[in-house]
Amino acid sequence: MAFDSDSPNENRNKAPKTLDDLHGIAQGPGCSELIKVSEFIDSFSANHLATGAAFVYLRETTEVNKALTIHRMMSVDDETFRSLSVAMEHSQLMCGCEEVDCTVIPDNDDGWISLRIRKSDLQRSRPWHASSSCMLRLGSLKTDLRLPAFPEPPGPRIVEGGPRVRWLEATLTVSLFRTPPTGTPAFVDLIGQFAVLGSTELQSLVNRFKCTSGHARPGDFADHPEALNMVKPLLDRIKGYFIFIEDTFYCSNWDYPNVIAKWISDNKLGDFEVRDIVGVKFRDLSIRLGRPYVYMHNGDCQHHVVFNDIRLLNEQRDDSDINNYPMLLGQRVHQQVNVTCQMCGKGPADWVITDHPKMRLDPTHICSSCNRIINYDANGKKNYDFKLFSFTDWSQL
């Protein structure tokens, strides 16, 4: 489905605006070229040296069968293969006197940027464990994908011994950000960073996104604060969402296609495609690393989604259990209280008060304990005339 917004004649000659212009996002030099995930995976098997079937076979078969398989894949005669096997034997490549310290990076880095960066990191004043921890949070240090002890909570979603990756597979690192006023996401706005496989469905990642707006309960609860639990949050009332990736809106089964059509027309944008998100996998996407994409839910709550990295899954170091993806790698905004009570300053705010005759700030964020002590008597009746709305801090998710 495609929408064409060129209706007025005077707008036909104008270059259509892009979402980057609309939201103040600059693509910048940090964005990669367009990457089609399926072609990225196929590029490693295009030379027929590492097809999916051979990859699984070589991993699980015996040494004798491995040699026969490699012989067929190389397409050389028996004498050449035997000569290469002897010449390239591991023992033949060593003189026997080498003493290699695997913990020391060699001086000759052969132009590898990653080695130079790691070497400079080791020379910093801070201990390596402190530097690596900082780089991990900043996303500049690439690590193996393992189930972390934090922040992934234990639960029935993590199933040991589930189906495993049995073919060449890509793994992508995806970050979800709050949308700051400047329009460009920053590390302090990181909600969560996830690892996904090429076979992971896009919808399964979106289902793991968390946001405070989904826990909002609309209404004024000044007369009966205890009625808060009787009101359904927006998460249960508004099911619709979409994620915009490279000129395509991936929508849930709701009224978003009609809303998007009107939005495109109102903002005089170009042609875009609208697809159902059900069944779409990451291998079906075309992405740019480092470019912010738009995720919108709960009506008008907007976030940025950034693809940080794409590579092949390493069966020796990475978790190959399909059930463990999407895998939560880290989060930022949940680790500390963002909005504290403006009365006691001890804990996160639970309520927002407006039109209060005694409060110096309007609105005022307040916790449940202070709200009960200040604004209500022993019988639960209001002491003042004000409005009370629910509030959820990021640390409470």
Cα torsion through 307, 312, 314, 317, rounded to 10 = -20
Domain co-membership, 267 together with 305: yes
- Judged on CB neighbours under 10 Å (0-12, 13-18, 19+), 196 is buried
Which band of pLDDT confidence, cut at 50, 70 and 90, is reported for residue 181?
Answer: low
Domain co-membership, 365 together with 245: no
| Cβ within 8 Å of residue 195, ≥6 positions away | 145, 171, 172, 173, 174, 325, 326, 327, 329
Domain co-membership, 172 together with 256: yes
**Which pLDDT score is estimated for 76?**
82
Residue 280 lies in a domain: yes
Domain co-membership, 392 together with 245: no
**Which pLDDT score is estimated for 165?**
79
Number of folded domains in the chain? 2
Residue 86 lies in a domain: no
**Which pLDDT score is estimated for 110?**
64
Residue 209 lies in a domain: yes
Domain co-membership, 277 together with 322: yes
Cβ atoms of 251 and 245 within 8 Å: the answer is no
- Judged on CB neighbours under 10 Å (0-12, 13-18, 19+), 251 is buried
Instruction: Give the pair of three-digit tokens for residue 308.
Output: 């940080």
Is it the case that residue 17 has pLDDT exceeding 90?
no
Cβ atoms of 282 and 197 within 8 Å: the answer is yes
Domain co-membership, 217 together with 326: yes
Residue 21 lies in a domain: yes
Domain co-membership, 179 together with 254: yes
Residue numbers of the domain that contains 387: 351-396
Mean pLDDT of the chain: 75
Residue 82 lies in a domain: no
**Which pLDDT score is estimated for 148?**
42
CA angle 206, 193, 247 (to 5 degrees): 50
Residue 66 lies in a domain: no
Domain co-membership, 222 together with 281: yes
Domain co-membership, 313 together with 170: yes
Domain co-membership, 288 together with 149: yes
Which band of pLDDT confidence, cut at 50, 70 and 90, is reported for residue 75?
Answer: confident
Domain co-membership, 289 together with 364: no
Is it the case that residue 162 has pLDDT exceeding 90?
no
Q: Which amino acid is at 157?
A: R
Least reliable range by pLDDT among 139-148, 158-167, 174-183, 316-325: 139-148
**Which pLDDT score is estimated for 218?**
87
Residue 379 lies in a domain: yes
Between 128 and 279, the more confident residue is 279
Residue 219 lies in a domain: yes
Domain co-membership, 247 together with 311: yes
- Strand pairing category for 272-276 and 248-251: parallel
